[in-house]
Amino acid sequence: MNAQELIDTAKKLVASDKGLLAMDESTPTCNKRFAKVGIPQTEEMRRTYRELIITTPGLNESISGAILSDETIHQQKKDGTPFVEVIAASGIMPGIKVDAGAKDMAGHPEEKITEGLDGLRERLLEYVQLGARFAKWRAVIVIGDSIPSRGCIEANAQALARYAGLCQEAGLVPVVEPEVLMDGGHTLERCFQVTEEVLHTVFDQLYRQRVMLEGVLLKPNMVLPGLSCPKQETVDEVADATVICLLRAVPAAVPGITFLSGGQSSELASARLNAMNGSLKSRLPWALSFSFARAIQQPALDIWQGDEANVLAAQQALYHRAKCNKAARRGEYNAAMEQS
Ligand code: 13P
């Protein structure tokens, strides 16, 4: 492990107000999104869609790194150029999702544990050879009447920390993603409490597993009320709660926090990120950035619909969302940008 290289890569991923584009949906998840808009669920359609994304003109103005899946990192453009080459040539760093998915956790009804540690050291070496510079592992925490349990939080936090240690050993910056889901009727206060506990546990485990925090990015949820909670706080209230929670739980040594969007609308995700980077910015020891999948891609996918004739319009929509989120990092996003 070259510590300085890891630090430089992590810093670069959050530099210049850029953020990450998560385009690492597993095959079943990508197929589910295709099915919703009537796109055939084939490997060739997934390849074509990913080619549309990575060839979007000007994407590198707002995006510093793109997270790929195992299928996508092995794919090529129609003309045979490997995706990784296309991405790197545009000045975007290729990243790779390395977990094997969140599975039902034994003895813990309704809870999930993320798998994928077996053989991870060898897989990471292969991804480094393919050109990956950073990696991602997602843990899923569900809020319910009597969950999450300590057992679930601790097992997921330890897996995240072991993954992060192996990534740093291989020279990859680990993006550590403990996602507290938005599903449910819970309040913002409950999400705050669970997120705080999860983050404390994750950072305790990162410390125990000797992970160098300067070479890590955290990818958390924002602190939000559940999707079906009757009380939905304002943009500023969400921004306040999220920043207070992160200030309590995330060490200042971490260079950047790159939020997931988690099912928020594209506009709300941008507005909330913008609010955190506005009047609260002077209180932040880390860069507050984005690593959105749906909140960047969804409008483009809706426009594309699998039709070659819609590629340019879809790329414009993708470019626009990336640009809105770059503006949000500066606290310069506003509703008027959505009209332009
Ligand atoms: P969303 O932004 O759609 O939540 O996806 C982010 C992600 O990478 C989930 O692992």
The pLDDT value given to residue 90: 98
* Nearest Cα residue to 195 out of 221, 219, 173, 214: 221
Best residue among 261, 264, 272 to mutate for probing ligand 1's pocket (most ligand atoms within 8 Å of CB) is 261
CA distances from 25 to 69, 100, 109, 190 (A): 7, 12, 25, 28
Give the C-alpha separation, 93 to 216, whole Å. 15
Give the C-alpha separation, 334 to 123, whole Å. 42
The pLDDT value given to residue 1: 67
The pLDDT value given to residue 11: 98
Best residue among 177, 180, 182, 260 to mutate for probing ligand 1's pocket (most ligand atoms within 8 Å of CB) is 260
* Nearest Cα residue to 230 out of 188, 262, 189, 185: 185
Best residue among 36, 141, 292, 318 to mutate for probing ligand 1's pocket (most ligand atoms within 8 Å of CB) is 292
CA-nearest residue for atom 9, ligand 1, is: 260
Q: What pTM value is reported for the model?
A: 0.98
Q: Which residues line ligand 1 (CB under 6 A)?
A: 22, 138, 177, 260-262, 292-295
Pairing label, strands 108-114, 102-105:
antiparallel
CA-nearest residue for atom 5, ligand 1, is: 293
Tens of pLDDT, residue by residue, the chain (340 residues): 699 999 999 999 999 999 999 999 999 999 999 999 999 999 999 999 999 999 999 999 999 999 999 999 999 999 999 999 999 999 999 999 999 999 999 999 999 999 999 999 999 999 999 999 999 999 999 999 999 999 999 999 999 999 999 999 999 999 999 999 999 999 999 999 999 999 999 999 999 999 999 999 999 999 999 999 999 999 999 999 999 999 999 999 999 999 999 999 999 999 999 999 998 999 999 999 999 999 999 999 999 999 999 999 999 999 999 999 999 999 999 999 998 6
Tokens describing residue 274: 């913008």
Known catalytic residues are: 177, 219
CA of 162 to the centre of ligand 1 (A): 21
CA of 294 to the centre of ligand 1 (A): 6
Residue type, 62: S
CA of 22 to the centre of ligand 1 (A): 6
Rounded (10°) CA dihedral 126, 155, 201, 207? -50
* DSSP class per residue in 284-299: -SSEEEEEESHHHHHH
Pairing label, strands 217-218, 173-180:
parallel
Host H or E run for residue 260: none
Given CATH 3.30.420.40, say whether it is the number of domain 3-339: no
Tokens describing residue 258: 């790159």
